[in-house]
């Protein structure tokens, strides 16, 4: 397997891949050669001189794409044309047109293409989906998604990330689709409370939204780029017979009892919260590729999550309710 | 003190008043004489023949009004004119005009008028407000309110309750004002998922909303009339330096560990969750009246919560974003 | 009802009795007349000149005894001879001989005598006992009791309290009997870690013990006079099919999320943890007396808990395993 | 690295080693050749014909010993003589004499020898030790260890395991030493409640004990071979300024809210609870061996935990208090 992109997510995936017997990382490509070389060296892999050279290597069965989102579709298309199995970070693309190009490319080439919505492979989210499918909640009537990062990324990244609900909210919106079903309408409001300079660019660091689902359920979404107290990811699903609540509120299961009360730590990063899920998604990808099984979520599925995220972002930017069907 | 109204809330307050040395319930009035007589008998109080007779009784210092909401303003006005201190269940009225009438009446008469938003007297809500006021969260950036009843009330009650967000959501909206500050805009969507007959009356049993606060914070609201799992009341306040979470997730602090996992019970009713707060609001009322101190929340404060609830209800019914300033 | 004794527990019970319609506190007696007068005044009750005078008052149906433990048996005997229903704080006496005197007196007089093991009336302990009786845990195989006070009482009190396991551990030992059954053997070790001066008096402020139950179950006990973090009372019962865990780990259901982690408060005193149980035991006493029903725990039952506590204390003092049957 | 022993623990460690870049498993030896061959095949390693052949292989730098406890000392001695770095499952031996032999062998050969007390590498236990060392609890006054397995192992294993407190309680006793310090005296009682046939062999499946520490602290220990509700491992440390509580009470951070209350799952096995610790102890071993650093716990440290466990087991079997200094 080869890494295309050698940034933070590449390193995180590489570290997880190192734990998996099914995956060997043989090569790294990045437009910044030094970055590729450094990561390759740390992995005992070679640094590819160009994307073409890497894709021409017949020893490479699969690629793991972590380049900036605007490049995803083109890299997917190249990798698909080269017959490689593809794992690409979310979102699949930065526009529906680009996503369509990616979907067409992988479907034409008949290669598997899994998109990095790691929560789909988290034990709690998987168990939730199974319980819902088994009818334990009865009819589903509500959803709540919370996604809050501890600290905002670099300002420069925010300017090109595609927007709060596309870059970050897409995880929670994908969870909404995974657990409840398709969303028909979204209404979002936002603010630039944490990084006020964003306002000058029409961008937001904090948003809340309401969601109307096809099956009648209603939902809320809360997204922000800073918490001060750690990584805050929650999902709730309400049904006729009860509620499922997913939240990792404690990290190391040590509680301190002092005159200040009872205190425990929290996950501070996506790595701490979703370590197991990140490993599981790579394992699932490797097993699917090796076993000729379908990957999940695939490009078409990820395109639907992108469309929902674009609808939410449009609502955020226009202040209007947006029908998902009207996007793209 | 006298009870005006002898229904469920009257009995609940009477039971709590019995625990308070400062309050003696001397009389009960209800338009249905048998109901008044029955409750009066159980309290060792007399049953008043008419509202006028009760208000004429100089031995009565204060009244506790739990009649249907549409009657509140007129009863408040009569009681104020009679010089009685007033405790009235929320909401203060069913319209802003009626609320204004009530506010004018109590201010003209110079009598205290406390409105039954019991959460304002709950230890957790009070502590939250103090911590926020002390700056422990820094600037406030977000709010979430959840209010879900275990089971819907009688269908007939729902038809005249004033609507989901006025009758029930008003508690969470009042908490939003108490903890964060004034709301400028609300956008709600709803459905009749639990009691589908409501749809024919343009009514809802489930709603979600987004809130825009004057101080820049953003919020969400989730309200429903059935949970299957008990009484679900939560409030979250987010700030620059952290988050406050109020939720009573366990009732009796007994956990069962079996092959089915770890299970504990939950509060099943507002009585179980807010018993302490209901007692505290009556105690605070009695202390304020006896000590000549201001009551809280007073009629003017409660009018502001009603206006917000009416704005939310209007948004729910029209599908449009509603500015609170445009209501009334 | 009259109070005999006007100290801390008398005031606590009086405050709870004020919440109960079935109880009216009419008189107070204490060997220190000023103390009696002060409490009586605050209750609107009269101060009795002597115990005899109080017991001669035919308007007094029941007495609530909170005098020092060494006086319990004699006061119980006098009250029983006067035909009063009796509620007495734990322990019923400071020796088995004195307890026997108390049991004989109340049984001879045919008056009810309830002893203040309030946990027997706490909802969690009651639910635990019901679940155990219903067989939900199958055969009972283990018990753990923890009893830790936030701060030690006055040194002078400790010198006359009867010892750590008699004054304080008796609550947990009574819970062991209530939930699991009779204990046959106890082996305790202790230390004076918090108040080193106790060592000179052969006394302890910290103890741990193992318990052997008649039904085969094994248990542990942990008692201490200081925690720094609040009132720490726990009970665990293990069975063939699972475990019950009773612990009130949170007081006001508000959680703070900050850079320091997630923190919440704890009960700081027996009043906070067992408020409901203290009210419930008085209510149960009143209802039993008024209804002619048996009280629980009665004098005989409380004598058995005292015997177990004396056995534990003897083990603590001798460093040897003590059979409960060998005590008394 | 080579595996000596190919049973359950060997497979568990092999699975974890596969996640570590620093470790390559090259060979497997087991007295049962088929078992060795099968595990070797699954690992892509070779199966060694004899222990000698394996130890003669210069490509093997280190061995991971999971053979039955009675064989540990001899295998350690052979491996040490062959100059291999050694990782051996707990306990280091089944007797103090054998442990002494092992200690002498590794010290004479100057090879590292780490013993598999994985909790020492668990983030919660490590954090607890750091907080204690930093004085956050002040003087340490108490300890509680709980170790309960979901289901007993095979009866045949129990007959040769060395006894409940040596085979299983040793983990909690090692934690006691790691967190609080040396134990001077232990007093245990036990029963055969789960597997009554054990009684005929003088063996136990359930035990409780009190511990007296050198620094004055007092502790309790609870060990059993069945819970019905999963893997129950807890450690508590009490000090002057507070308490540390280590317990993993939830596994997948999904809570179900239904009419039956609030339920969540628990860890069901040591693999689920200590997965991270098992990986961490192997990683620490590899890093220490590769970096020439000391391993922890080493043979001498593990011998001290064995001595404590033997003292506890002797107390369990004799019914007497046992001074640790009197063992061996």
Residues A11-64: pLDDT tens digits?
999 989 987 888 999 999 999 999 999 999 999 999 999 999 999 999 999 999
Of C222, C143, C152, the closest CA to residue C189 belongs to: C222
Region D30-42: mean pLDDT is 96
What distance in Å separates residue B272's CA from the closest CA in chain C?
12
Region A115-142: mean pLDDT is 98
d(CA D260, CA D263): 8
What is the model's pLDDT at position D262? Answer: 96
d(CA A144, CA A176): 8
In this prediction, the answer to ipTM > 0.85 reads yes
What is the H or E stretch that residue A289 is in? helix A270-291
Among A138-142, B227-231, C122-126, D20-24, the range scoring the smallest mean pLDDT is D20-24
Q: At CB < 8 Å, which residues of chain B contact D?
A: 227-230, 232, 249-250, 257-266
Of C167, C142, C208, the closest CA to residue C72 belongs to: C167
Task: Summarize pLDDT for D242-285 with one digit per residue, the tens.
Answer: 999 999 999 999 999 999 999 999 999 988 899 999 999 999 99
What distance in Å separates residue A255's CA from the closest CA in chain C?
9
Give the rounded distance of the alpha carbon of A1 from its chain centre: 20
Residue C202 DSSP code: T
d(CA C226, CA C203): 15
Interchain proximity C263–A259, CB inside 8 Å:
no
Interchain proximity D245–A255, CB inside 8 Å:
yes
What distance in Å separates residue B301's CA from the closest CA in chain A?
27
Q: What is the CA radius of gyration of chain B?
A: 20
- What are the structural domain ranges in chain D? 2-118, 119-273+298-326
With contacts defined as CB-CB under 8 Å, which chain C residues touch A258? 228-229
Q: Binning pLDDT at 50, 70 and 90, where does residue B85 land? A: very high
What is the model's pLDDT at position A271? Answer: 85
As a whole-number percent, the residues of chain D with pLDDT over 90 amount to: 95
Q: Domain B119-273+299-326 belongs to what topology? A: Dihydrodipicolinate Reductase; domain 2 (3.30.360)
What is the model's pLDDT at position A19? Answer: 75
What is the model's pLDDT at position C160? Answer: 86
Region C283-294: mean pLDDT is 96
DSSP string computed for B206-272: EEEEEEEETTS-EEEEEEES--SS--EEEEEEEETTEEEEEE---SS-EEEEETTEEEE----SHHH
What distance in Å separates residue B255's CA from the closest CA in chain C?
5
Interchain proximity B227–D257, CB inside 8 Å:
yes
Query: What CATH number was assigned to the domain covering residues A119-273+298-326?
Result: 3.30.360.10
pTM, rounded to two decimals: 0.95
Q: Which residues are within 8 A (CB) of C35 and not within 5 positions of it... i.e. 6 or more apart?
A: C6, C7
* Closest Cα in chain C to B258: C242
Q: How many CB pairs under 8 A join A and D?
A: 74
Task: Summarize pLDDT for D155-191 with one digit per residue, the tens.
Answer: 999 998 889 999 999 999 999 999 999 999 999 999 9
Is the N-terminal amide bond of A91 cis, ω within 30° of 0? yes
Q: Binning pLDDT at 50, 70 and 90, where does residue A328 land? A: confident
Interchain proximity A142–B228, CB inside 8 Å:
no
Q: Binning pLDDT at 50, 70 and 90, where does residue B299 land? A: very high
Task: Summarize pLDDT for B92-140 with one digit per residue, the tens.
Answer: 999 999 999 999 999 999 999 999 999 999 999 999 999 999 999 999 9
Across the interface, which of D254, D257, D258 has its CB nearest the CB of A127? D254
Q: Which candidate in C222, C232, C245, C315 is best for mutational testing of the D interface (most D CBs within 10 A)?
A: C222
Q: At CB < 8 Å, which residues of chain D contact A?
A: 18-21, 123-124, 127-128, 131, 136, 241-250, 252-259
Q: Binning pLDDT at 50, 70 and 90, where does residue D219 land? A: very high
Q: At CB < 8 Å, which residues of chain A contact B?
A: 138-139, 141-142, 144, 185, 187-191, 193-194, 206-212, 216-220, 222, 224, 227-229, 232, 238-243, 319, 321
Is the dihedral angle over the CA atoms D183, D189, D194, D197 positive or is it negative? positive
Q: At CB < 8 Å, which residues of chain A contact C?
A: 227-230, 232, 249-250, 257-266
Interchain proximity D263–B262, CB inside 8 Å:
yes
Interchain proximity A252–D19, CB inside 8 Å:
no
| pLDDT surpassing 90 at residue B20 | no
Q: Domain C119-274+299-326 belongs to what topology? A: Dihydrodipicolinate Reductase; domain 2 (3.30.360)
**Largest pairwise CA distance in chain A:** 65
**Contact (CB, 8 A) for A185 and A202:** no
Q: Which candidate in C146, C193, C217, C230 is best for mutational testing of the D interface (most D CBs within 10 A)?
A: C193
CB atoms within 10 A of CB D192: 20
Across the interface, which of B229, B249, B261 has its CB nearest the CB of D259? B229
Region B17-36: mean pLDDT is 92
**Contact (CB, 8 A) for C220 and C211:** yes
SS3 B113: strand
What distance in Å separates residue C43's CA from the closest CA in chain B?
10
What is the model's pLDDT at position A259? Answer: 94
Q: Which residues are within 8 A (CB) of B291 and not within 5 positions of it... i.e. 6 or more apart?
A: none
Strands A46-47 and A62-65: unpaired
Task: Summarize pLDDT for C193-222 with one digit per residue, the tens.
Answer: 999 999 999 999 999 999 999 999 999 999
Region D102-111: mean pLDDT is 98
Q: Binning pLDDT at 50, 70 and 90, where does residue C178 land? A: very high
Residue A45 DSSP code: -
With contacts defined as CB-CB under 8 Å, which chain A residues touch D236? none
d(CA D197, CA D110): 44
DSSP string computed for C160-187: HS--HHHHTHHHHHHHHHHHT--EEEEE
Q: Binning pLDDT at 50, 70 and 90, where does residue B161 land? A: confident
A2-117 classified as CATH 3.40.50.720: yes
| pLDDT surpassing 90 at residue B183 | yes
Burial class (CB in 10 A: 0-12, 13-18, 19+), B211: buried
What distance in Å separates residue A199's CA from the closest CA in chain C?
27
As a whole-number percent, the residues of chain D with pLDDT over 70 amount to: 100
Q: Please, what is the average pLDDT of chain D?
A: 96
**Largest pairwise CA distance in chain B:** 65
Interchain proximity A254–D127, CB inside 8 Å:
yes
What distance in Å separates residue C266's CA from the closest CA in chain D?
12
Q: Please, what is the average pLDDT of chain B?
A: 96
What is the model's pLDDT at position A171? Answer: 98
* Closest Cα in chain B to C275: B276
What is the H or E stretch that residue B131 is in? helix B123-133
**Contact (CB, 8 A) for B70 and B76:** no
Of D317, D244, D299, D325, the closest CA to residue D98 belongs to: D299
What is the model's pLDDT at position D69? Answer: 93
Q: At CB < 8 Å, which residues of chain C contact B?
A: 18-21, 123-124, 127-128, 131, 136, 241-250, 252-259
Strands (E), C180-294: 183-191, 206-213, 218-224, 232-239, 242-247, 254-258, 261-264
d(CA B181, CA A328): 39
Q: Which residues are within 8 A (CB) of C190 and not within 5 positions of it... i.e. 6 or more apart?
A: C164, C204, C205, C206, C207, C208, C316, D218
CB atoms within 10 A of CB D197: 12
Q: Domain D2-118 belongs to what topology? A: Rossmann fold (3.40.50)
Task: Summarize pLDDT for C297-328 with one digit per residue, the tens.
Answer: 999 999 999 999 999 999 999 999 999 999 98
């Amino acid at each position: 397997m080869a890494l295309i992109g050698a940034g933070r997510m590449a390193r995180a995936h590489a570290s997880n891949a190192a734990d998996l017997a099914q995956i060997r990382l043989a090569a790294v490509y990045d437009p910044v050669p030094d970055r590729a070389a450094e990561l390759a060296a740390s992995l005992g892999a070679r640094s590819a001189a160009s994307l073409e050279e890497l894709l021409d290597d017949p020893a490479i069965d699969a690629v793991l794409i972590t380049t900036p989102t605007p490049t995803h579709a083109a890299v997917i298309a190249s990798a698909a044309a080269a017959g490689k199995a593809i794992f690409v970070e979310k979102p699949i693309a930065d526009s529906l047109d680009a996503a369509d190009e990616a979907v067409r490319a992988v479907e034409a080439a008949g290669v598997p293409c899994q998109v990095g919505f790691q929560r789909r492979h988290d034990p709690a989210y998987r168990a939730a989906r199974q319980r819902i499918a088994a009818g334990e909640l009865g009819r589903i009537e509500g959803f709540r998604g919370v996604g809050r990062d501890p600290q905002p990324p670099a300002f420069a990244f925010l300017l090109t990330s595609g927007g709060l609900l596309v870059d970050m909210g897409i995880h929670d919106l994908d969870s909404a689709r995974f657990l409840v079903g398709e969303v028909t309408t979204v209404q979002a409001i936002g603010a630039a409370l944490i990084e006020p300079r964003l306002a000058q660019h029409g961008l937001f660091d904090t948003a809340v939204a309401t969601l109307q689902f096809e099956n009648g359920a209603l939902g809320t979404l809360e997204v922000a780029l800073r918490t001060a107290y750690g990584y805050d990811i929650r999902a709730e699903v309400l049904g006729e017979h009860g509620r499922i609540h997913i939240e990792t509120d404690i990290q190391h299961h040590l509680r301190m009892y002092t005159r200040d009360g009872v205190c425990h730590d929290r996950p501070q990063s996506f790595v701490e919260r979703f370590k197991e899920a990140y490993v599981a998604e790579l394992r699932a990808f490797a097993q699917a590729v090796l076993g000729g099984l379908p990957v999940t979520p695939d490009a078409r599925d990820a395109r639907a999550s992108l469309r929902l995220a674009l609808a939410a972002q449009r609502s955020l930017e226009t202040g209007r309710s947006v029908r998902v069907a009207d996007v793209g």
